[in-house]
A = this chain, B = another copy of it.
Amino acid sequence: MTSEPVATSSVSALAGTTFSGARQTAHEFVRSVLRSAILSGELAGGTRLVQAELASLLEVSTTPVREALRELASEGVVRFDPHRGAVVKELSGEEVHEIYAIREILEPVALRRAIPKLTEEVMDRLRGLHQKMTEVPHSAEWVDLNRSFHMTIYETAASPRLAAIIRSLEDSSVMYIGAFLKEVPGLRDDAIHDHGEILEALERRDGDAAAEAVVRHLGLAVKAFESRSAQTDES
């Protein structure tokens, strides 16, 4: 049980995070810590998540850890096999394509549904997020702003189920390709440009244009992923 020489990421990256208990249950705390660690790439795909280890690291008992893992498993970010433990899920290229294909179908729908419900307040929020994204560099914060931008639109569609599905797909996307989208040079600017177009289309209440922009926006990520995975062709 010495640390493996081939560096798979370890949960020890989480050391130091403590549970204040303030109005949050322990399993919620564990879940949020693991979630953000996984989505940020801190915990890479394939990392084993040993309950006892996580428990002592986060200073809770194993019970809430297991509950958190169960929830993450149904969210699809970890794999949890009976008696064998949890590992951070790693998606295949096919799955990435599948996820983006579904997103390209659902996101335009959610967007069109949102348009009639757009208030000035929501538009202001979107403009604010867009503005801020032009200011901060590509970082965890930027990724978060990006997520907020899109989800704000979809949540005003007042279709909670649809929004939840999209959110989960987006999470899976970020988990898998978020890490190396950072390395694609012009991507951030392209994304900001697309957001601008989406925003403009929303101002005009033009569903077709907005939908088209979103689909192109998604295509960007897929293309970046493809060029990257072709480059890292090592199977």
A-side residues, CB < 8 A to B, are: 25, 27-28, 63, 66-67, 70-71, 74-76, 82-83, 95, 98-99, 101-102, 105-106, 109, 159-162, 165, 169, 172
Contacts and interface: CB of A to CB of B under 8 A. Distances in A.
Contacts of A27: 70
A105 B160 CA distance: 16
Given A66-B67, A71-B70, A106-B105, A28 B161 contact: no
A83 B28 CA distance: 12
Given A70-B70, A101-B159, A102-B161, 7 more contacts: A25-B83, A28-B82, A98-B160, A98-B162, A99-B161, A161-B169, A161-B172
* Max count, chain B CB within 10 A of own CB: residue among A25, A83, A98, A161: A161
Copies per complex of this chain: 2
Majority SS at the chain A contact face: helix
24 contacts: A25-B82, A27-B70, A28-B82, A63-B63, A66-B67, A67-B70, A70-B70, A70-B71, A71-B71, A71-B74, A74-B75, A76-B161, A98-B159, A98-B160, A98-B161, A99-B161, A101-B159, A102-B106, A102-B165, A105-B106, A105-B109, A161-B169, A161-B172, A165-B165
Contacts of A101: 159
Contacts of A98: 159-162
A161 B95 contact: yes
Contacts of A63: 63
B66 A102 contact: no
A187 to B, nearest CB: 24
Contacts of A172: 161
A27 B73 CA distance: 14
* Max count, chain B CB within 10 A of own CB: residue among A76, A95, A99, A102: A102
A40 to B, nearest CB: 21
A19 to B, nearest CB: 15
A71 B75 CA distance: 10
A14 B159 CA distance: 34
Nearest to A67: B70
